Amino acid sequence: MKKSALQIARAAYQPKLPKALKGTVVAKEGAATQSVGNQDEIKAMFPNTYGMPVITFEEGNAPQMEAINVGIILSGGQAPGGHNVISGLYDGVKTLNPNSKLYGFLMGPGGLVDHKYVEFTDEFIDEYRNTGGFDIIGSGRTKLEKESQFESGIEILRELGIKALVIIGGDDSNTNACVLAEYYAAKNYGVQVIGCPKTIDGDLKNEQIETSFGFDTACKTYSELIGNIQRDCNSARKYWHFIKLMGRSASHIALECALQTQPNACLISEEVEQKEMSLNDVVTYLAQIVADRAADGNNFGTVLIPEGLIEFIPAIKKLIAELNEVLTDPATGESREFGSAEEQISFVKGNIAADNLAVLESLPADVARQLCLDRDPHGNVQVSLIETEKLLSRMVADKLAEWKKEGKYNGKFSAQHHFFGYEGRCAAPSNYDADYCYSLGFNASRLIANGKTGYMSIIKNTTAPAEEWIAGGVPITMMMNMERRNGAMKPVIRKALVELDGAPFKFFAANREEWAKNTAYIYPGPIQYWGPTEVCDQCTKTLALEQK
């Protein structure tokens, strides 16, 4: 593999570890736990992995263990730092016993089911340390939820002598890890299952998980691009840039990028929902900012938009909820099959309530069509395919044209459009993510050594120097509740939304009027790896504000 000069230099970086993980550790157990919701249902579904205590690791004198074989899976979308989770786990199991082995299942959970794998070696691992992407073994979105999959998996695990499996993923992937842990525990198969919290969207967090890995790097990558655009915007002074950012189920990325770059406007989906704003309300809000800046002679600006915005507008959210129901076959729980797009659209219009049909027909034809068609693997609308940035700029332009006729606006409006998504998913990890991910993987080896299953690897206190980070584990069932998916109630990890009474949003809300009117842009520049700590090792603004 050819490497750039940066990659060669970066390979020599040794990620920092919490003091508690340097050497042997002992596990301190807290009180019994319960799920965040639907306790009776979750307990009944996970009798072998429910109610376990939160684990904290401390320095101790635990003996060296016998050699153990461990498997690892990358599941779902890519996130910066995945390779460091694997290298941390590899180093962790080797320090427990040099004869331990680590196997990677290829292309996600499907590799476990289809018995496709690779054994890691020092030389293999060293090629990927501190690099972005998931290309070391690839990732996939196969859902582990059927008994036939579990049984196929146990065949290869037994063949390779694997006693523990680590699944790196987001809320859905870790829900699958929890289901798998429960199944193997119920069958007494002797295989532990550990999860690691990954998603650039930032919505896998709670009181125990400070942040999901990859969020820091992705937001810094997007913020660099936004800063570059804002510098161009402030130089040419003739365009409004509408920038859509990843974040289907929550607006954490948009909020973090706003805190880093100070755009003229940033929409937060959770606020739109709370205020019960209509699409017209959102458009009017943006148009007023454009008009106010034009009155000051500034016919330019930037607007940040979370990709899931449409789904948070109450009337459209209600419409989407019914679409998800009618497009699911109740007999199979899978998406209905249609002969053509027109047949599917006709079926939708003939089977939804009158008020939802009215909302559907009030939308631009291309948006209405998109809502009726493509679904994701979970049976939901693929909102990322809806060009919300173009929809909003088009509607803002129409609103401004109305105001111009009424003498309320006399500026110029010209829009440019961007969607930042894939650009951030495989970026080379920041120092924060490199350290955090390595610690998550290393820590997973300690959960395995202590016989834990159904746990997620967690590292806390990460606004402090790495020496002071706190390592441990949280039962995955503690984060679960019941939600409606594909027309049926299922156990899932609860997603974390932007908290409107939280410190990050409050800081944003206190400053956005000034950012709207004035050109107060910040240009973060590229991620830095060498230099002063205050430049290279900082966490996200969100985490710093949350942890004060």
pLDDT of 380 reads 67
| Band (377; pLDDT cuts 50, 70, 90) | low
- Cα four-point dihedral sign 257, 263, 267, 271: positive
| Band (63; pLDDT cuts 50, 70, 90) | low
The mean pLDDT of the chain is 94
pLDDT of 125 reads 97
pLDDT of 59 reads 87
List of domains in the chain: 20-214+429-485 (3.40.50.450), 215-312+384-423+501-547 (3.40.50.460)
For residue range 93-128, list pLDDT tens digits in order: 999 999 999 999 999 999 999 999 999 999 999 999
8 A C-beta contact, residue 352 and residue 325: no
Mean pLDDT within 35-56: 97
Mean pLDDT within 333-359: 90
Mean pLDDT within 215-227: 98
CA pair distance 116, 94, nearest whole angstrom? 23
Mean pLDDT within 71-75: 98
Element (H, E) at 306: strand 301-306
Instruction: Please state, in angstroms and as integers, the Cα–Cα distance from residue 246 to each residue in 98, 123, 318, 352, following that order.
Output: 41, 35, 22, 29
Catalytic residues: 201
Instruction: Please state, in angstroms and as integers, the Cα–Cα distance from residue 404 to each residue in 291, 396, 397, 411, 415, following that order.
Output: 10, 12, 10, 8, 17
CA-wise closest residue to 101 among 38, 11, 161, 47? 161
| Band (81; pLDDT cuts 50, 70, 90) | very high
Mean pLDDT within 463-492: 93
pLDDT of 341 reads 87
CA pair distance 133, 47, nearest whole angstrom? 36
CA pair distance 351, 222, nearest whole angstrom? 41
| Band (3; pLDDT cuts 50, 70, 90) | confident
For residue range 268-312, list pLDDT tens digits in order: 999 999 999 999 999 999 999 999 999 999 999 999 999 999 989
CA-wise closest residue to 473 among 39, 5, 33? 33
CA-wise closest residue to 420 among 285, 226, 175? 226
CA pair distance 64, 449, nearest whole angstrom? 9
